[in-house]
Each structure stands twice: as C-alpha cells, then as structure tokens.
Structure 1
C-alpha cells in the first residue's frame, strides 16, 4: 500500500462561523493546505489524508471538515433519487454501519432540506436492499458515517463528514447553566485580536472561562481535537489509516509546551461562574496556566509586574426587556475600568449590544462583524494609550 503521507491531494471543505473565514484559512495554510477558495462560512482547500487528520485535530475555528466524493445536477425528485442511486455506496458505508444525512439546500427548486435528506436516504437504503437484501440503519444522534449533502441551485455535492461531533465541541467543558461562547468562536476572537500566545491576556468578565481556556490551548500549543469525545468521523471510513492517525496524534501530544508561555488571568463578579470556570480549566488539565479570582469588573486592573498585552471580554448583551439602564451603566463601568486600569493595553470587547457599547466612551479603532448564535455582534478594538497623547509643539 502506498504511504498515505505522500498520497495524492484531494478536495476538502472546512466550515466555520461568519467572520472567521480568513482566520480558518490561515490555520489551514499553517498546516500545509492549499487554499482554493474562501467562501461564506466555508473554505475549500486541497491536501492529502494526513492533512485531513491534522485539520480535524488542530483547527481551532473549524466546525466541520468535509470530503466531497460525488457531484451532479438534479432537476427534480426523480433525478435526485436516480443520481444518488448511481453512487456505489458500498465504498462509503458497510451494511453493519449506521449513517445519517445532513442536507443544506439553497436557491433550488427543492424547498425543503429534510425532504432532500429523506429522499437521499431512501435511494441509499434501496441500493443496499436490492444488492444484498440487507440495509444499513439510520442513526441521527450518533452515526458511524455522517453524510453531508449541499444543494445550491440544484447542483448537488455529496461529502463525507470527517469530524463526527462538531469540532467546536471540544469536550473539556463541564455542564454549565450559563450560555457560554462556543469554543470555535472564542478561539476565533483571540486569533482576530492577533494575540500571539505570549503577551499578557486578561479577561475581567470571564464567566465560565471559555476565552481563557482557548487562550491557554493556543499558548501551550495544545491541539483542541485531543479533547474530542468519541470517534472522529474518518475513523469509521473504509480507507481509515490507523497507523497514520496514531502518528498524527503522537506528534500533537509532543507539541504541547509544559512551561507557561503567557500570563493568563480572569475574574468575574459571580463566585458560581468562577467555580464553573475552575471546573472547565481542570477538565482541560490547564490549572497551571490560568489564574482565576472573584472580582467586580470595576475593581479589575492590569497585573503590576506584567508587561501590557490584551484585555478581552464578552460582557452581557441584556436581551431582556427593561435591561437598557443596567446595560448602559455596565458598559460605562467597563469603559472607566479600561481607561484607569489598563493603560498601554489593547482592549477587545465582543458584544451584541451596540447601543450600550457607545457608553464605553472610547473610540473603536476596529469593528469586526460576527455572530454569537443568531445575535449580530461586533468585536470592538480599543487602543489604550499610556497617559494622554499630547503632541509637543516645536520650540
């Protein structure tokens, strides 16, 4: 058998969240991928099987890594059923395996993705039944093989999903009753902030600690996929190379840096949140790298002995009716804290409340549009200069 490390490159797609496309493209480039196209919420790239395994293990901002294997035009239901039936499904699914299909339908004559998924499933199952008299079962929750069908204007692409569980679900997060940032978005905010994994990083409203945990993973060069629960999708594929996968994981474990690389600290007014943060940090085995404490944001200030770096936070947005006054006061406090306690730092505020953000009272030098779930958000950058910036006139 040919050595898979040198196997021929093939097409892949990595999906992400709106606004993180360039960050993910850069992550893939660093792994050695050739970027073919940066689309909306998706990056098309080429690489070999080793790169596919590494992308699942290392990409901090990817949701899924897909491997397309068939494409065709389907004008109507009959054509879709017929074209799906032309694929030799025994190459991709064994009849003792379970499978599931996710369909995404855009601008096509089919108006319903669930219907398209159902029709595709029927075509696959019928092929097995006709050939062998037996059929693989569907398991929507935890299938062996996840298929992805993308239809845009009746052009269909079928892909195998290499990820299994979505890659943003790292597995270190303990059950929380708070609505934390998703891990891929948290990593994306840090990478958008241009944080290098070396500078001081402070989160004075850290909640359950997702930003700090992701920061520690970046600083200590830890592959997020090492926390992945259960199998990756590609481990159930017919061409799975177990020896290559073992070596990719071994390389990743050896990349981890044991010495703390950056001063990382977070605080929150809520003792309960700090307890949750401690549990998450412990589950990720990162206690040596993150300092946590209970503190009101108005008491927060830069650590005396550390060189200035980044202060980053995701304050509440105030979704409830009647929150306006409380939010205005909170964002004014955040502004006061930044001005008095963090001179020389770059501040990044991620918020979905752009009205309240005006109360920060600083001029944003950059505004990056993103989403937190369905909420339209901005990552606002503020440069906090040392003292006031007076220009001395020539004598």
Structure 2
C-alpha cells in the first residue's frame, strides 16, 4: 500500500529567480521530473514523493518547492472565506502545529495580499475552533506548515511549501561582505556558463566566496540541501515518509566525490573578505577543494600547469554617487587582466553596471539578462582566444 502511495505522481511548482527558469527545468529533468511548464520565475512539473524530497535536496537554483492542493475562483471576500472553509484543513495541518500564509495577489479585485492572507487564516482557524474547540497558532517566523496562496485574476491556488526556510539559504554562510550573491543565483550563473565541473574555475574578485563554494558543490556532486538549517517543510506534513527521506539523504551522501575534481581558486584584494571566504568554505567542509589568496585583480592570472577553463567574477556595480570614474577604471583593469592573464579561457562577468562594463574592451559573445535582488544585471560572456598576443611577441 505505502509503495503505491509513494510512487503516485502529483503536480508541483518550483520557484526561482528571473532568468534561471530553464536552468532549473533542466535540474528537475535530471532528477527524473516531467516538466509541464516553464513560466516566469517558476517551473511546473510532476513527480512522486521521492522526487519531491530529492528536489528539495538537490535543486541548486530553486528557492521553494510547492505542492498545490486546491484551486478555486473567488469573486469577493465572502467567496474566498467560503471556499477556504470548504477544505478539510485537518488533512494538511494539526491543531497543535503552527502555520503561516504567504499570499501573492496579481491582477485581482482584491487590493492587498496581506488582507487575503488574513482572510484565509481566519477561515482555517474558525474551522478548527468550530470542529475541535481549539486551533493551530500562527507563527510567521518559523512555522511548522507554510501555506502559499497565489491569486491571479481571482483564480486562487493554495499550496503547501515543502522547503521550510528558502532553499537558497544553504546554511554554510557564516559571514558575508556588503552585497553577496545569493547562493541560488551563484549556482545559476555557474550552470548558465555550462562549466563541466572538471576544468579550472577561477574567481579573481571572490569576496566571501559564494561562487567558489557553489562551484565546489557542483564539482564534488554535493547536494546543497544537506546544509539546510532546521527541518524541511515536508517533514511536518501528515504524509511525511521518514524512511523514504532517510534513504534519499543516504543516497545523496554517497553521491559525494571525495577526490578533488577541478582546480578551484579565488582571490580578493581585501584580506577581510578572504578571511570570510575561508570561514564559509570551512563551514561547508570544502577546504580540500578551494584555494584562496589575497591578490589584486590586476595581478590575477591563470594557473600555469592547468588547461584553460572558466574565469568568473561579480565585481562591484558602484551604486554610490560619484563612483563612476572609479568603476570605469576598475572595469578597464578587469578587461586588461582577462586579455593578458587568461588566454584560452571563457570569461563571465556578472554586473549591474552596463555602462562601466563597456570599459572591459572585449566583445561579448553572450549577454544573459538576470537580476541581483532589485538590480537589473547581465551575465556577460567573453571568449578569450589564444594566440592573439603570441604573434605580436614573435
């Protein structure tokens, strides 16, 4: 009986950041999911309970994995309250558990998502009070059960959140510099580059080391969810299968490769950042795989004994007033470093300062639109051909 239930496929949605949807869809396909639809910041797919657990553990670019369980049309407040009340909430939530609702409202006659969340909460709580005489409490910070309500043009979809804490918060990050990349975005940049996990991966402006840490997790076949803090959301669901979850984690631990698979190295001008990067790398238990050093970007060059690979950096964008000249000089230096120090490499610059990026002085072969938080960014690819300089020297 349990095995049939375990293997029956159902619908799920994985959320991500703008520009990473295709990367996430491929991650899900690699896990055996059937991708149904690639939308904006979301991928809809089908799979069974094992796949749900694996998606939470393995997806590097997902923010949340949601399991939709109800959908209906709500013309107004009364209809929303009535439709929510019709569901049997004891199937999803115990009275001794805490819960929270996140509502997203688009193009609907309801103005405020907070109001929609409040109304939904009231309907749930009233049902428990009427039927059992006591009710689950709301805990916005750290609930046992997270519910997502998505309303578009008054069509409502209710989902259970399988993730718990957002999946991009890996838990290895001890400290960060001013504007760190989030881990899912860092992994997304690496996967967008098509890096094979074998060739050298160099980050000459590595800050607190997020790109390098994510590169090491990819190269060593380490599931990012193994670092997840606290419980995953699905561990509090009524249908949680502890034995299945145990075996999914065991499989993931056995997938890890112990021997270094690629030459990974990073440097930064700031000693403080490199110390932070060392702490993060140690917290992720990856010291054996990543080399770090204090170095100005203009001193950076490819390792002599290695074949060409990828050089990737996320330089500052210069959001403060009066930084234009400083930024232009920095981006010119980056261009010079790439030309002289990394021949034969593919270079990727992730930046929100497209004006300064012109000073790199190289022709881009790809420009991928992405966001870093609210900042409109591009991942710029430069192919650094070998041989251009050698001819001149002869």
Is TM > 0.5 for Structure 1 vs Structure 2?
yes
Which residue of structure 1 lines up, in the alignment, with residue 205 of structure 2?
Answer: 205
What is the CA–CA distance in structure 2 between the aligned matches of 1:4 and 1:358, rounded to whole Å? 58
What stretches of structure 1 of length at least 5 have no aligned partner? none
Aligned residues: 391
State the SS of the aligned residue for 2:382.
strand
What is the CA–CA distance in structure 1 between the aligned matches of 2:5 and 2:206, rounded to whole Å? 41
Query: Where in structure 2 are the equivalents of 1:9-24 lying within 5 Å?
Result: 9-24=9-24
Query: Where in structure 2 are the equivalents of 1:10-49 lying within 5 Å?
Result: 10-49=10-49
Q: Deviations over 1:226-277 (max 9, x none)?
A: 0000000000000000000000000000000000000000000000000000
Q: Is the 8 A contact 2:175 2:208 kept in 1?
A: no
Which residue of structure 1 lines up, in the alignment, with residue 116 of structure 2?
Answer: 116
Which residue of structure 1 lines up, in the alignment, with residue 257 of structure 2?
Answer: 257
State the SS of the aligned residue for 2:363.
coil
State whether structure 2 residue 280 is matched by structure 1 residue 284: no
State the SS of the aligned residue for 1:160.
strand
State whether structure 2 residue 388 is matched by structure 1 residue 388: yes
What is the CA–CA distance in structure 2 between the aligned matches of 1:327 and 1:309, rounded to whole Å? 26
Q: Using the TM superposition, give the Cα deviation of residue 175 of structure 1 relative to its aligned residue in structure 2, in angstroms.
A: 2.8
What is the CA–CA distance in structure 2 between the aligned matches of 1:287 and 1:178, rounded to whole Å? 23
Which residue of structure 1 lines up, in the alignment, with residue 351 of structure 2?
Answer: 351
Q: Is the 8 A contact 1:4 1:49 kept in 2?
A: no
Which residue of structure 1 lines up, in the alignment, with residue 295 of structure 2?
Answer: 295
Q: Using the TM superposition, give the Cα deviation of residue 178 of structure 1 relative to its aligned residue in structure 2, in angstroms.
A: 2.4
Which residue of structure 2 lines up, in the alignment, with residue 57 of structure 1?
Answer: 57
CA separation of 1:222/1:5 partners in 2, compared to 1, >3 Å: closer, same or farther? farther
What is the CA–CA distance in structure 1 between the aligned matches of 2:389 and 2:11, rounded to whole Å? 51
What is the CA–CA distance in structure 1 between the aligned matches of 2:58 and 2:174, rounded to whole Å? 21
CA separation of 1:222/1:244 partners in 2, compared to 1, >3 Å: closer, same or farther? same
What is the CA–CA distance in structure 1 between the aligned matches of 2:37 and 2:111, rounded to whole Å? 27
Query: Where in structure 2 are the equivalents of 1:64-103 lying within 5 Å?
Result: 64-103=64-103
What stretches of structure 2 of length at least 5 have no aligned partner? none
Q: Deviations over 1:331-365 (max 9, x none)?
A: 00000000000000000000000000000000100
Q: Using the TM superposition, give the Cα deviation of residue 179 of structure 1 relative to its aligned residue in structure 2, in angstroms.
A: 1.8
State whether structure 2 residue 184 is matched by structure 1 residue 184: yes
Which residue of structure 2 lines up, in the alignment, with residue 367 of structure 1?
Answer: 367
CA separation of 1:131/1:190 partners in 2, compared to 1, >3 Å: closer, same or farther? same
Root mean square deviation of aligned Cα: 1.2
Q: Using the TM superposition, give the Cα deviation of residue 2 of structure 1 relative to its aligned residue in structure 2, in angstroms.
A: 2.3
State the SS of the aligned residue for 1:367.
strand
Q: Using the TM superposition, give the Cα deviation of residue 389 of structure 1 relative to its aligned residue in structure 2, in angstroms.
A: 9.2
Q: Is the 8 A contact 2:205 2:314 kept in 1?
A: yes
Q: Using the TM superposition, give the Cα deviation of residue 387 of structure 1 relative to its aligned residue in structure 2, in angstroms.
A: 2.1
Q: Using the TM superposition, give the Cα deviation of residue 98 of structure 1 relative to its aligned residue in structure 2, in angstroms.
A: 0.1
Q: Is the 8 A contact 1:4 1:50 kept in 2?
A: no
Q: Using the TM superposition, give the Cα deviation of residue 176 of structure 1 relative to its aligned residue in structure 2, in angstroms.
A: 2.6
